[in-house]
Structure 1
Amino acid sequence: MDEDKAEDDIRTYTERNWHWFNSKPYFHVYVLLAISYLLILIFFVVGLSRVTSLSSKLSEVDSEIPELPAGLNDQLFPCGPDTRQWEYFNGKCYYFSLETAPWIRAHARCAEKQSQLVVINSMAEQNFIQMRTRNERYWIGLTDVDAEGVWKWVDGSDYYSGFLFWKPGEPNDDRHNEDCAHVWNNGEWNDVFCTYLCYYICEKPLPSRVRAHHSGT
């Protein structure tokens, strides 16, 4: 009898407790939250595993990419891979400034870059500059500051037998002391006072290492 009573008491206690838990208004919410957290944890672990695997594969791919052959960088960026403002054309490197300056300062800035204000020697070079400047005003290395009307290139090139691309009617020294030349409308040349604020173009030969590479190919 005692054993039967004990079993009945245990069954009654269990049923009461289950009914108490099941009757709680938030019981099902807690269960759903627990399941949600468990699913989120599973998704996180799976995602982390996939990211780790992808990173490992990318590292393997990077290690398999061959290095550029010696000299190829010079072919792709003959004026230097780290000097994006320098552009290559027909054996020379050209620098198109992002700042404006008077002609004298522009001349000095080019010298600081081991270069000179551009000297335009041909229609091909003129077309290259014209396309690049796009109607903005840029100083070139041409001036008659030493003697009015006696124009000289900064590198000593013969002005009178060389290439010219003045705007019709220029140079005219219209406002007096217009002693420096720049490119403007459609790339045509114009004389203006040298203290005018203009962008500027520097030029220099290819670096010696690049010239040596090209001469050997």
Structure 2
Amino acid sequence: MDEERLSDNVRLYKGGSIRQGLRSFAAVYVLLALSFLLLTLLSSVSLARIAALSSKLSTLQSEPKHNFSSRDSLLFPCGAQSRQWEYFEGRCYYFSLSRMSWHKAKAECEEMHSHLIIIDSYAKQNFVMFRTRNERFWIGLTDENQEGEWQWVDGTDTRSSFTLWGRTKPHLAAHINPWGHTKPHFLTQLLEGGRTQQQGLQ
């Protein structure tokens, strides 16, 4: 009888041990599967965050260029690429480095949708004098229609407009040397609605 009990106990123990062992393995497999799923989920979330951060970084890297270009247009309304353009009182002025005749300078200005500068205020006169210093530049003043009758390239008569010359004859801001060796530069002023360098002027 004792042997039977012992044999039943051994059977119970062996069966319980096997069941308990299977339960332990099942629990380990379930834990491994859950760990794998959790790891996969964390990896997916991490990759999504990395992609979002990468996208944001590339956006931030491109923004300064855009911001600088909009700031450039505020700081350099006539274009940041050329030192020849100057901004004064809401207009752009081009100080040419090329030397040419007055007629050629006038034609160059017209090609740039502009005209030789018309000096119609003390402020503009001072701006031109300060900027040109000892250099010679053509201005938009001529007496080519009638000798001694000076007028600006827009047709304005010097007698009815601002002038710094009083009753004496005005002279061009620069003139061709009698020997023809040097020709002055030209100075142009963009017309209302004229294109700026940023829009294609060179």
Same fold (TM over 0.5): yes
What is the deviation of 1:166?
3.3
Identify the residue that residue 151 of structure 1 maps to in structure 2: 150
Identify the residue that residue 99 of structure 2 maps to in structure 1: 100
Query: Structure 1 residues 162 and 92 mapped into 2: Cα distance closer, same or farther (>3 Å)?
Result: same
Compare CA radii of gyration and give the structure with the larger one. Answer: 2
Q: Distance in 1 between matches of 2:135 and 2:122?
A: 19
Identify the residue that residue 88 of structure 2 maps to in structure 1: 89
Identify the residue that residue 63 of structure 1 maps to in structure 2: 61
Aligned structure 1 segments of 4 or more residues deviating by more than 6 angstroms: 190-193
Identify the residue that residue 117 of structure 1 maps to in structure 2: 116
Number of aligned residues: 136
**1:13-92 correspondence to structure 2 within 5 Å:** 63=61, 66=64, 67-68=66-67, 71-92=70-91
Identify the residue that residue 160 of structure 1 maps to in structure 2: 159
1:6-43 C-alpha deviation (Å, 9 max, x unpaired)? xxxxxxxxxxxxxxxxxxxxxxxxxxxxxxxxxxxxxx
Indicate if the aligned counterparts of 1:102 and 1:198 stay in contact, CA closer than 8 A: yes
What residue identity is the alignment partner of 1:63?
Q
Q: Distance in 1 between matches of 2:118 and 2:84?
A: 18
1:187-213 C-alpha deviation (Å, 9 max, x unpaired)? xxx8998x7721110011476799xxx
Q: Distance in 2 between matches of 1:208 and 1:112?
A: 11
Q: Distance in 2 between matches of 1:97 and 1:113?
A: 12
Query: Structure 1 residues 96 and 64 mapped into 2: Cα distance closer, same or farther (>3 Å)?
Result: closer
Identify the residue that residue 141 of structure 1 maps to in structure 2: 140
What is the deviation of 1:94?
0.5
- Structure 1's unaligned 5+ residue stretches are 1-58, 172-180, 185-189, 211-217
Indicate if the aligned counterparts of 1:117 and 1:202 stay in contact, CA closer than 8 A: yes
SS of residue paired to 2:108: helix
Q: State the TM-score, normalized to the length of structure 2.
A: 0.56
After superposition, the CA RMSD in angstroms is 3.4
Indicate if the aligned counterparts of 2:142 and 2:172 stay in contact, CA closer than 8 A: no
Query: Structure 1 residues 151 and 192 mapped into 2: Cα distance closer, same or farther (>3 Å)?
Result: farther
1:126-148 C-alpha deviation (Å, 9 max, x unpaired)? 00000011022111001011111
Indicate if the aligned counterparts of 2:95 and 2:188 stay in contact, CA closer than 8 A: yes
What residue identity is the alignment partner of 1:90?
E
Indicate if the aligned counterparts of 2:113 and 2:194 stay in contact, CA closer than 8 A: no
Q: State the TM-score, normalized to the length of structure 1.
A: 0.52
Query: Structure 1 residues 111 and 130 mapped into 2: Cα distance closer, same or farther (>3 Å)?
Result: same
Query: Structure 1 residues 69 and 97 mapped into 2: Cα distance closer, same or farther (>3 Å)?
Result: closer
Give me the identity figure in percent: 42
Matched, 1:183 2:182: no
What residue identity is the alignment partner of 2:67?
L
What is the deviation of 1:64?
8.8
- Structure 2's unaligned 5+ residue stretches are 1-56, 197-202
Indicate if the aligned counterparts of 2:138 and 2:185 stay in contact, CA closer than 8 A: yes
What is the deviation of 1:81?
2.5
Q: Distance in 2 between matches of 1:83 and 1:206?
A: 20
Indicate if the aligned counterparts of 1:170 and 1:191 stay in contact, CA closer than 8 A: no
